[in-house]
Structure formats: structure tokens, C-alpha cells
Structure 1
Amino acid sequence: MSPLSPESGPTMFPSVIALLGFGLWLSQWIRAQEGTLPSPTLQADPGPLIPLKKSVTLRCQGFPGADRYRLRKEGSAQYRDVSTTGREAEFPIPSVVPNTTGSYYCLYKSQSNWSQPSEPLRLVMTDWYDKPSLSALPGPEVFLGNNVILRCRSQQWFEYYVLHKEGEAEYMQNEGKWCHADFHLSQVTAADEGSYRCYSFHMDTLSEWSAPSDPLELRIRAATDDPQLHVSSKPLSSANSTADAVAQNYTVGNLIRLGLAGLVLIILGILLVEAWYSQSGALRNAQKSLPKQPSQATERGKV
């Protein structure tokens, strides 16, 4: 007999209701296990980069109605619960050591439902290796729109280097080449100005970094800060115009003086030529006025 025939309806209807109820309950249970509430946020105070054996507090912030918070570390089955009626729970870590580093996330529970997990927070321990050095190529002063290279150099070889700007949560990571790594900042803007530090670490200790380098102050200058560009781009003031006028008058005066000197030389030349011609004429006239001397042949004839 078909289960959909009229005769089977009265006996099968309670079973269908029971199956539908069980399916709805199972769906709700699965959703409760997966997390139906909004995700909380997880932050580290004073920050996610903590020196060796220093303390840090992880704060999980949920929503009204939360009565329990849970902190988990990725890769570990252990967790920590805090019962509270507030919107935030604190998870202090009194001393950061290698086994406390790694990625953490938190959840909160309201009534019988757990929330979605928060975004993972990576807790890093610093001061595990000696500090590297940080330098800027070609220099720490960069003109707006130009490129600069921040080079992090260590005394030994590391697989990875990290560049961090003070006041920002994000950081740049780069693979090491020999004992250094270069971080290229292209077409810098005013937002790139600030204090930078770098770290180094090995591949098998991703959350155990070196001590931070000494800070490097990167300064971004506008193109008009260049003295040569500044003079050419700035409009001439009245003082500059006066100076230019004086210089121009001085040049004209020099040209007049040179012209007069040339004219004097020409006049002197003419006078010298006239004197030379006058002297030459006087000598010729003097020679013509002298008596002629008898020749030797005439003198012999007379004897």
C-alpha cells in the first residue's frame, strides 16, 4: 500500500510531524554549535608585540546578553572561560614566553548559543634574538612621490624580516636575502612619514622575534622644499624685482664703460697713426734738404 494513500494518512501523519520537529531541532542544534551570534573582537593590551617575560592582557569584547567568554589558542585543545555579565572579558597573561605565543581567538555565549569566533590575534614575543639595524636608501628624507628603500640588516642570517610603523596594527613582512631584507616604499605620500622599526625571526619560530631595531624617522618633504625648486617656483617679490633691476642697471653701466674705453682706444690709435705719418714726412723732408756729396769718380777726375 502506498504511504501516500488515504488509508495510510491518519496513521502516518503523527510520524511526519515528529520527523519535522526533530529536523527543526537538529537544525537549531547545528546552528547553535556553529555559532549564530555575531563575532566578538579580540585585542591585546598594550599590543600584540610583547617583550620576553613581560605581561599582556587579551580583551574579548562581545555584545549585550553575553554571560560567558572563552579564549582559545589555535592548535591547542585547551581553553579558558570567564563568566561575566558584561560586554567584555579579560584574559591576562602575566609572562609571555615561547609556549604562550601564537594565534588566539575568542567566543562568547548568550543563553545556550555560542557566537562565531573572533578574528585571530597573533601574539608575538620579542627580544628573543639580538636587534637588527634599520637604514633608509638613499636617505631618511624623501621628496613627495619618490621611492625609498628601508633596509633591515642583522648580524646573522634569518629567513624573515618584519617592518613595523609606530601606531599601526599592520606590519610588512619580507623574506631575507643573506643577512638583510629590503622594504620598498613606492611613490611615498605624507601618510608614510613616521617612526619605523624592524625585526627578524626564523621560519620555525614564527612568533618569536628579535628585539626591535632602533627607530628610524622617515620624513616626507614637498617638492617646494628643495631650495633650487623653491626659488624657481616662488613668484618674484618686490625686493627680488628691485635687486634684479639694480643688477640690470649695473650691467648696462658696465657696457657703457666698456664702450667708452673702446672709443678712447680707437682715438689713441688714430692719434698714434697720425703722429707716425707726421714723423715719417718730416724725415723725408729733412733728407731732401741735405747737400749732395760728390762721388769718388768726380773727385779723381779733378786730380
Structure 2
Amino acid sequence: MTPSLSVLLCLGLCLCKRTRTQAADRFPKPSLRAENGSLVPQGGAVTLRCRGSGEAEEWQLEKRGGSGWSLIKFVRGAGHEVEFSLPSLTSYDARTYRCCYKHSSFRWSECSEPLELVVTGLYARPSLAALPSSEVASGQDVTLQCWSELWYDWCVLYKEGEEISRSRTQSHERGHQADFPIPAVNVTHNGTYRCYGFYSSYPYKWSSPSAPLVLRVSGTFSSSPESENRPSGLSCLQVGILVGVSAFLILTFLFLSLLCLRCCWHQPRLGKGDRETEIKTARSSEPPVTTLEETMYAAVNDDRQTEDARQEDTTTLQREDPQEVTYAQLNHKSLKCGAEPPPQSGPVEPSVYAALW
């Protein structure tokens, strides 16, 4: 093979790969959904919607059977989405479906993901019960039990039209049952539950739904019997009030503490020298206090000095001029106090005599 031929061959392969990639980009994969859900009761109608590219001109709906996929619906029209109506469903319509569309260049897009269409009401309904009760406290464990006298292989649990779980059944004396445990329930588990039964050989043909079971979850679960007699906890309003009062008391205490600290900080403080000066000033300003002993001592001392002076005068007069002298007895207490004291029964004090001319 010549070099030029090799180059042309590689160029052709690259162009072919690029063309396929662009074609895949131009034809996005469509999507298929059931308008009112894929769970349809027997005899009911359903509308399937297929959405794809705006350049589509033809649409088709396929159903998978025992021999593979087969065309059941064909629609012409441009747009992003088309509808396929299936009225009055039967057990034969309980299948898997898919859709695809054709581009204006006469090329078909890739098909959508399969959609499982389930038909219910083909068998007798099972029973659904809650253990220990359908009204429980939050945090308690609950088991939803789906059982039937028929020998169903599987049971499916639904809540408010949405599948929650599915489980294989186990045999018991009454038939077959499946348990769906819900540990530590809370308020999000409140709602209406139903269950269905089916055989594994017919996975899209289900029984009629069980009677609705309403699960109510409220309060707080207590594991000990003694706690059931205890009063319930504080409500949110009471807790809020307690928190508010506590915060107010704390703020009040802090405010008073800061106020006391401020007063103590601004109070003038005296140093050691100032204190001594203040004490001396206070002492000097006080009037002198004379005790009783000091007063008596001063009075007696004055009397003795007066008596000595008088004796000296008398002696001098006698020495200078010996004349007749008249003596008078003086009472020092009378002279001192200025009033005649009451008579005393005690010993007589020594008398002092003075010369009179």
C-alpha cells in the first residue's frame, strides 16, 4: 500500500468517526414517563409521554414481550414531546415500554430507558398491620407487617402513592407475610400506607392494594415504665420564658457588679502620709480633756501654795513688828467654791490662820 493511500484511508476513518459523533450529538436520547404514575389499576387508562429533540418528525412506542420489542404506537408530528394513550389496561398491558423518534434525515435516535408499567387489582388484597400499634411515640420501633393467605413471593410497601420498600415473603400458619421494620420512628413517618403482593413469575401483575393503614407518631418515647408516669417535658414556650428570665437576671447582676466597681474605682484613696495628717488634725481640733484626778490634784496644790505663802507672811510680820495680832480661821473650800458647804462628819482638816489688823 502506497503512503498516499494510507493517508487517505486514515482521513476517511477520522471523518466517518466524526460524522457519527455529530449525529449522536444531534439526536439526544429521549425520555419516557407515565403521566399519573406507573402503577395503574386494572381497567384504568394511562398516558405515556416521550420527550426528545425538536427536529423529530416521527415517534414510536415499543413494548417488550416474550419475543422481544414490538411496535404498538406510531405518531407523526414535529416537536419536543408526544403523548401515547393506553385506555382500559388489562393484564396483557403489564409490560416494559420504551420510545424513540426519527429525525428529518431519516435517522432514528437511540431509544429511551425502559419504563415498567404495573397493573394492579389482578389478585386478592393482602392485609397490613402495625406492631405494636399504629399510634406510637417518637423514637419507638415499629414493624409494618403485610400478610396474605395466598402464596405471594413478594410484597411491596407504598406510602402516599410512592414505593417505600419491597421484601420477599416468609411462610407462616396463615399463609405468607413480609415484615417492614421502621426503627426509631419520627414525625416524618406519619402517613397512609398500603401494601401489594405479586408472584415472581409475573413481576408487573400485582394484587389489589391492602386497606389503608394510617401511622401516627407523636410525643417522645420512653423505654422505662417508670418514665411513663413522669410529667411531660417543658413546652417550647416554657423553655423560651425560662431562658429569657435567666438572661435578664444575668444581665442585671452584671450591671450591678459594674456599677459597684465603678463607684469603688472613683472613690478617693488616702495615702499613709495623708492618713497620719488627718489623724493629727483631728486630735488637735479636739478640746483638751481633763480627768477628775488631775482636777483634784491641781486644787490641792493651789491650797498648799496659798497656805505656805500665808505662813511666810505671818512669820515676817512677827519678826518685823511684834504687835497684837488677831487671827481668823479660814475654810479653803469655802473660799475656793464660793459657797458654804454642808457640815461634814468626817475628820477636821487642818486650819489656816491669817493676821488681821
TM norm structure 1: 0.64
Please tell me whether the aligned partners of residues 136 and 150 of structure 1 are also in contact (alpha carbons under 8 angstroms): yes
1:17 equivalent in structure 2 = 8
Cα distance change, pair 224–155 in 1 and its aligned pair in 2 (3 A)? closer
> Separation in 2 of the partners of 1:224 and 1:160?
32
2:175 counterpart of 1:185: no
Amino acid across the alignment from 1:16: V
Matched-pair identity in %? 37
Please tell me whether the aligned partners of residues 163 and 199 of structure 1 are also in contact (alpha carbons under 8 angstroms): yes
Match of 1:146 among 113, 132, 140: 140
Q: Answer 1 or 2: higher relative contact order, Cα 8 Å, separation at least 6.
A: 1
2:54 counterpart of 1:57: no
CA RMSD across the alignment: 3.2
Match of 1:128 among 122, 127, 132: 122
Please tell me whether the aligned partners of residues 51 and 125 of structure 1 are also in contact (alpha carbons under 8 angstroms): yes
Please tell me whether the aligned partners of residues 166 and 195 of structure 1 are also in contact (alpha carbons under 8 angstroms): yes
Deviation, 1:120, is 2.3
Match of 1:98 among 76, 87, 91: 91
1:282 equivalent in structure 2 = none
2:78 counterpart of 1:85: yes
SS at the partner of 1:46? coil
> Separation in 2 of the partners of 1:180 and 1:18?
66
Please tell me whether the aligned partners of residues 94 and 119 of structure 2 are also in contact (alpha carbons under 8 angstroms): yes
1:44 equivalent in structure 2 = 34
Q: Kindly report which structure 2 residues correspond to 1:20-35, keeping only aligned pairs within 5 A, or say none.
A: 20-22=11-13, 24-25=15-16, 28-29=19-20, 32=23
Deviation, 1:181, is 0.8
TM norm structure 2: 0.55
Amino acid across the alignment from 2:86: I
Please tell me whether the aligned partners of residues 49 and 123 of structure 1 are also in contact (alpha carbons under 8 angstroms): yes
2:193 equivalent in structure 1 = 196
SS at the partner of 1:222? strand
Amino acid across the alignment from 2:75: V
> Separation in 1 of the partners of 2:221 and 2:148?
37
2:203 counterpart of 1:212: no
Cα distance change, pair 96–145 in 1 and its aligned pair in 2 (3 A)? same
1:164 equivalent in structure 2 = 158
1:117 equivalent in structure 2 = 111
Amino acid across the alignment from 2:7: V
> Separation in 2 of the partners of 1:128 and 1:167?
18
Amino acid across the alignment from 1:195: T
Please tell me whether the aligned partners of residues 53 and 96 of structure 1 are also in contact (alpha carbons under 8 angstroms): yes
> Separation in 1 of the partners of 2:188 and 2:180?
16
SS at the partner of 1:64? coil
> Separation in 2 of the partners of 1:93 and 1:137?
40
SS at the partner of 2:56? coil
Deviation, 1:100, is 1.5
Amino acid across the alignment from 1:40: P
SS at the partner of 1:200? strand
Q: Displaced runs of 4+ in structure 1, greater than 6 A?
A: 224-227
Deviation, 1:146, is 2.6
Aligned pair count reads 227
Higher Cα Rg, which structure: 2
Please tell me whether the aligned partners of residues 35 and 114 of structure 1 are also in contact (alpha carbons under 8 angstroms): no
Cα distance change, pair 116–188 in 1 and its aligned pair in 2 (3 A)? farther
Amino acid across the alignment from 1:77: W
Deviation, 1:224, is 8.5
> Separation in 1 of the partners of 2:189 and 2:43?
32
Gaps of 5+ in 2: 240-357
